[in-house]
A and B are shown apart, each in its own frame.
Chain A
């Protein structure tokens, strides 16, 4: 991929919702605003999502006896954040299109 292609491809995601998995397991969901060579990503209007602790997972399972009991993830609003490239473990694109509508993004 040359620079021009890369720039074009990346700029498709500006203003689109991304989910970034950070190295400590948290996930940040928000609109992409900016990225650079080191894959530092700035998200605006971001929410932080954190997996429930082991304790919190174990408890409802023990109580209900149901091994697929539901456990809530913790989330909170964090606003504008930058995820440093070295902590980016996974990037997901959240595509929301109406049925029949074609998304204009080349994946």
Chain B
């Protein structure tokens, strides 16, 4: 038993002979067990024995164990006290073909019989490279490596057994193929491509894990105990690729020119892609790193048909060799065209993200950029999002003199205010700590306190903005709660600010409750976004449209009121400064006006459009134009509570009580049986019912036109001017579409005449699907009224 703990097993010559005498199809699996001396079991491959530790003794306890377990009662468990039923569910059942990735069917072998040293045709090289690209992209969409790249026999050879140097990472021992030098050089080309691909994956994992992401939801970073050349620097891989390009360019190497250039372009693409993925890429070169990749894609697309697939080069059997606690799963099939589209999508998004570097240094510009980036269609993949957030939190970018929340506060409530005068921070505190501090110093300290306090909620908002759309909606509702707490704290600071200001007798120069106003404004903005995202993601059912739009308009109206208060204050302050001949300060206040005007125009438009939609959908519901699902187990008030849940804890704004809500959304009684007043108002085109729709559509249109006139600069969206312009245009288009829809309903009512039943109109409402480019703006659902044929 002494040497029973070696890592190697010794096969006796007899066994080996016995093996060779068996010819082919014999019961191999039986022999395998026979060929193994049973005592020489190596456990723990990575086991390193401490010098003095004794070798463990091995006792065969089979017989007694079986006897003892047999003596147990049915259902009795002998178990670790801390081992729970829940934990046991995660266990993999050995020898269950569906669970156990190591299970071999009779006659099946563990090793794949694919020979990685066999010579490949140039066409096959192209085929394998393109297939690898497909799997790489499948991985980017969230599939694990075990079902994608790690099914490649070639990749497996390069990564296992774990190479200590890059030279050890070969397809065949010593890097020498048994099939002659020409086979060897093509395989070296493929090797260089695979190595660069693996290093690229390493960069992708590092980039994604460095930012907020959700394992297995967004992306699988699991590498199954394989090390993706983490410590080898990038230039080594670039050199390998260079050498491969040289091999291909050698004119002595006989190969069709088309194939030659196809392979070279793939190698060059890998170089460009690897450079773009590099984590240490200098900021100033980042924006130019994606265009070479994009142009490489075109060549790959054009030459793909030259390739020839090699099905044997990929196998699910590879999963048996991976350290894996999950059952075996099939290889992901991914179309080459889709893969290229996805790759292009990543490149374009990342290139767009690099524009973040050149944005004006203003948190509001950053915020617009993040919002617009998250709104891109198709939605950016996790890599592109991590790419942007890495840029966002890059020390060179966030290294501003003023803290970001403070810059934001200043723009909204403190333009040219004494509160933020830099001199306040230079005043020395009194020598005697018992004496009161000078009021201006107090101002500075209060602001510092607030900036400290608001840092985390502000950051949370940004983190939420760099998630995918669905999670953005969910995370925002948590961020809102955090901002609600912040608002409570802000109002305390506001009181202190006010008392310091009264000592200086500048109370009239400061907006009352300025800090809490700022927090409240931001909070309301977030609530609006949550509701709009709900519409965008089809959270609300058609018969809820009216109510949710009404709630939205309520929220936006609150924000509009805040803005009016701020605007009035700034205007008085401006006149006052002009009167005092403080022209520089007056000018600063005036400069803040366009942003506030832009916010106000946007809020006015949003409030009007949502109110118009609320009224329109109410009419549509009364006319039976909207589908109502059967809900045998829910009540209206419970549904209302559910919808309002994210905002119930928040105050202000308080969620209106259900009775109020019902009275406003169903003024004519239940949708199924409206009182006669509805039919009368419906027929009367001058009734208040219609006036609320058409009047608000007009008001919204005017407000959005004003918003457009003020421009992207005023809206602090200069960095995303084009997308911003499009968004405003879409809002206008939604207004027009609503006008058309309301005209359609009116028309049908007119045709039905005075005796017509409001529920029997000759029209139906088509609800545009989300994400199918059928809506003008994704967050604004405007139905299309179609005549019944």
Instruction: Name A's B-contacting residues (CB within 8 A).
Output: 1-3, 5-7, 9-11, 13-15, 17, 19, 21-29, 33-39, 42, 44, 47-58, 61, 67-85, 87-99, 107
Residues of A within 8 A of B74 (CB): 37
Contact in complex: B32, A107 (CB < 8 Å): no
Residues of A within 8 A of B42 (CB): 49, 72-73, 75
**In the assembled complex, B678 has its CB within 8 A of some CB on chain A:** no
Contact residue among B9, B91, B96 (Cβ-Cβ distance under 8 Å from A42) = B91
Residues of B within 8 A of A75 (CB): 42-45
Residues of A within 8 A of B58 (CB): 19, 92-95
Residues of B within 8 A of A38 (CB): 69
Contact in complex: A48, B68 (CB < 8 Å): no
Residues of B within 8 A of A87 (CB): 94-95
Q: How far is the CA of A17 from the CA of B786 in the complex (A)?
A: 73
Residues of B within 8 A of A37 (CB): 69-70, 72-76
Instruction: Name B's A-contacting residues (CB within 8 A).
Output: 6-13, 15-16, 19-20, 28-29, 31-33, 35-36, 38, 41-45, 53-54, 56-62, 64-80, 83, 87-88, 90-96, 102-104, 109-111, 225, 321-325
A73 to nearest B CB, angstroms? Answer: 5
Q: How far is the CA of A67 from the CA of B31 in the complex (A)?
A: 18
Contact residue among A14, A47, A69, A89 (Cβ-Cβ distance under 8 Å from B44) = A47
Contact in complex: A35, B78 (CB < 8 Å): yes
Q: Beyond A28-B94, A74-B110, A76-B225, is A34–B83 a contact (Cβ under 8 Å)?
A: yes
Q: How far is the CA of A90 from the CA of B66 in the complex (A)?
A: 9
Q: Beyond A58-B16, A78-B92, is A3–B72 a contact (Cβ under 8 Å)?
A: yes
Residues of A within 8 A of B103 (CB): 24
B99 to nearest A CB, angstroms? Answer: 9
Contact in complex: B29, A35 (CB < 8 Å): no
B26 to nearest A CB, angstroms? Answer: 10
* Smallest CB gap from A86: residue in B: B95
Contact in complex: A78, B76 (CB < 8 Å): no
A10 to nearest B CB, angstroms? Answer: 4
Contact in complex: A91, B61 (CB < 8 Å): yes
Residues of A within 8 A of B94 (CB): 22, 26, 28, 81-84, 87
Contact residue among B9, B61, B92 (Cβ-Cβ distance under 8 Å from A92) = B61
Q: How far is the CA of A92 from the CA of B67 in the complex (A)?
A: 14
Q: How far is the CA of A107 from the CA of B60 in the complex (A)?
A: 9
Residues of A within 8 A of B61 (CB): 13, 91-93, 107
Q: How far is the CA of A54 from the CA of B88 in the complex (A)?
A: 35
Residues of B within 8 A of A26 (CB): 94, 102
Residues of A within 8 A of B54 (CB): 96-99
Q: How far is the CA of A95 from the CA of B96 in the complex (A)?
A: 30
Contact in complex: B83, A7 (CB < 8 Å): no
Residues of A within 8 A of B109 (CB): 53
Q: Beyond A5-B71, A54-B31, is A82–B102 a contact (Cβ under 8 Å)?
A: no
Residues of B within 8 A of A2 (CB): 71
Q: Beyond A7-B72, A82-B93, is A51–B324 a contact (Cβ under 8 Å)?
A: no
Q: Beyond A36-B78, A91-B62, A107-B59, is A48–B102 a contact (Cβ under 8 Å)?
A: yes
6 CB-based A-B contacts, threshold 8 Å: A7-B78, A25-B29, A33-B80, A34-B79, A51-B32, A91-B66
Contact in complex: B111, A81 (CB < 8 Å): no
Contact in complex: B32, A25 (CB < 8 Å): yes
Q: How far is the CA of A38 from the CA of B70 in the complex (A)?
A: 7
B108 to nearest A CB, angstroms? Answer: 11
Residues of B within 8 A of A49 (CB): 41-43
Contact in complex: A51, B9 (CB < 8 Å): yes
* Smallest CB gap from A51: residue in B: B36
Q: How far is the CA of A7 from the CA of B69 in the complex (A)?
A: 8
Q: How far is the CA of A26 from the CA of B94 in the complex (A)?
A: 10
Residues of A within 8 A of B11 (CB): 57, 61, 68-69, 71
B559 to nearest A CB, angstroms? Answer: 52
Report which residue of A54, A74, A79, A90 has the largest number of chain B beta carbons within 10 angstroms of its beta carbon. A54
Contact in complex: B16, A67 (CB < 8 Å): yes
Contact in complex: A95, B8 (CB < 8 Å): no
Contact in complex: A36, B225 (CB < 8 Å): no
Contact in complex: B95, A22 (CB < 8 Å): yes
Contact in complex: B69, A36 (CB < 8 Å): yes
Residues of A within 8 A of B36 (CB): 25, 51
Contact in complex: A25, B43 (CB < 8 Å): no
Q: Beyond A11-B78, A14-B80, A35-B77, is A91–B325 a contact (Cβ under 8 Å)?
A: no
Contact in complex: A29, B43 (CB < 8 Å): yes
A97 to nearest B CB, angstroms? Answer: 7
Contact in complex: B111, A54 (CB < 8 Å): no
* Smallest CB gap from A35: residue in B: B78
Q: How far is the CA of A106 from the CA of B72 in the complex (A)?
A: 18
Contact in complex: A58, B19 (CB < 8 Å): yes
Closest 7 CB pairs of A and B: A79-B325, A67-B13, A70-B8, A6-B71, A34-B79, A96-B56, A77-B323
Residues of B within 8 A of A76 (CB): 102, 225, 321-324
Contact in complex: B72, A36 (CB < 8 Å): yes
Q: How far is the CA of A10 from the CA of B221 in the complex (A)?
A: 39
Residues of B within 8 A of A44 (CB): 83
Residues of A within 8 A of B321 (CB): 74, 76
Q: How far is the CA of A18 from the CA of B136 in the complex (A)?
A: 39
Contact in complex: A42, B64 (CB < 8 Å): no
Contact residue among A54, A68, A94, A98 (Cβ-Cβ distance under 8 Å from B43) = A94
Q: How far is the CA of A50 from the CA of B31 in the complex (A)?
A: 13
* Smallest CB gap from B321: residue in A: A76
Q: How far is the CA of A70 from the CA of B74 in the complex (A)?
A: 45
* Smallest CB gap from A34: residue in B: B79
Residues of A within 8 A of B79 (CB): 14, 33-35, 42
Q: Beyond A15-B80, A34-B83, A81-B94, is A57–B16 a contact (Cβ under 8 Å)?
A: yes
Beyond known contacts A33-B83, A58-B20, A77-B225: 4 more, CB 8 A cutoff: A35-B69, A36-B72, A50-B110, A54-B31
Contact residue among B7, B88, B93, B110 (Cβ-Cβ distance under 8 Å from A72) = B7
Contact in complex: A78, B78 (CB < 8 Å): no
Residues of B within 8 A of A82 (CB): 88, 91-94
Q: Beyond A19-B43, A98-B54, is A81–B93 a contact (Cβ under 8 Å)?
A: yes
